């Protein structure tokens, strides 16, 4: 089963994933992330830092995704393991839909087409949602800001995420990221545990 965690910068994804690592250890999940599970991720980070051409940047994220799938995600799923990814394709649909404005005629259609036929869709996606100003103030408290981290950009990214979630309500679970960290963690861990157990019992049938 493939579970993904999504949200704008500063939404608390990283601390959530860190706490899931501990509390779900008995399920032996494979924890992974985009960008950065392969060496291509280093080039993506360089692209982000240097603010390169938006199409080149988008294709680097896609290249990282392809390598992530073949090196980490598909082998783990084939072994019947639970995979939990900190960011995945919805990050592209939410962020690159903004960065590709004006660069390609219909960014979402372009992005969908680039992924079509080879990507692996997540079974369950948690989307952490909070007011953009709160996300930005969390980020400034924790240090540096990257080039996507501007109020206008993050506002559009979050709107894209919410549109994706309403288009696929059976896959997305929208989580109020303003809640206490421990409460969010308990809820998400419980949902993953439940989904993993039902996926295991379905496979046994
Ligand atoms: P990440 O390292 O996950 O940042 P954070 O830990 O702050 O969430 O991702 C780096 C940036 O890359 C982040 O601003 C989101 C962006 N990003 C995209 O624009 N498209 C993508 O496909 C992915 C995976 C990330």
- Angstrom distances, CA of residue 76 to CA of 141, 173, 184: 36, 23, 26
Distance 95 CA to ligand 1 centre (A): 8
CA dist 40 and 35 (Å) reads 8
Q: Nearest C-alpha to atom 13 of ligand 1 is from which residue?
A: 9
Does residue 7 surpass a pLDDT of 70?
yes
Model confidence pLDDT, tens digit, residues 118-166: 999 999 999 999 999 999 999 888 766 666 778 999 999 999 999 999 9
Strand-pairing partners, residue 128, are 7, 175
CATH number at residue 76: 3.40.50.300
Domain enclosing residue 78, as ranges: 2-204
Distance 123 CA to ligand 1 centre (A): 21
CA dist 152 and 132 (Å) reads 9
Distance 106 CA to ligand 1 centre (A): 21
Domains: count for the chain: 1
Model confidence pLDDT, tens digit, residues 163-187: 999 999 999 999 999 999 999 999 9
Output the pLDDT for position 143: 66
CA dist 157 and 103 (Å) reads 17
């Amino acid at each position: 089963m493939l579970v993904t965690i999504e949200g704008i910068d500063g939404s608390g994804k990283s601390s959530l994933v860190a706490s899931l690592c501990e509390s779900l250890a008995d399920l032996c999940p494979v924890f992974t992330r985009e960008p950065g599970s392969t060496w291509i991720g280093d080039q993506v980070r360089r692209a982000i830092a240097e603010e390169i051409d938006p199409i080149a940047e988008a294709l680097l994220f896609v290249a990282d995704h392809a390598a992530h799938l073949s090196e980490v995600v598909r082998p783990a799923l084939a072994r019947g393991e639970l995979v939990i990814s900190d960011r995945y394709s919805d990050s592209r649909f939410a962020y690159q839909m903004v960065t590709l404005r004006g660069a390609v005629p219909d960014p979402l259609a372009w992005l969908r087409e680039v992924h079509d036929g080879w990507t692996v869709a997540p079974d369950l996606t948690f989307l952490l949602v909070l007011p953009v100003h709160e996300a930005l103030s969390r980020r400034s408290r924790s240090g540096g800001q990257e080039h996507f981290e501007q109020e206008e950009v993050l506002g559009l990214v979050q709107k894209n995420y919410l549109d994706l979630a309403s288009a696929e309500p059976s896959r997305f679970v929208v989580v109020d990221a303003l809640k206490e960290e421990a409460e969010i963690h308990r809820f998400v861990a419980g949902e993953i545990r439940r989904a993993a157990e039902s996926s295991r019992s379905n496979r046994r049938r």
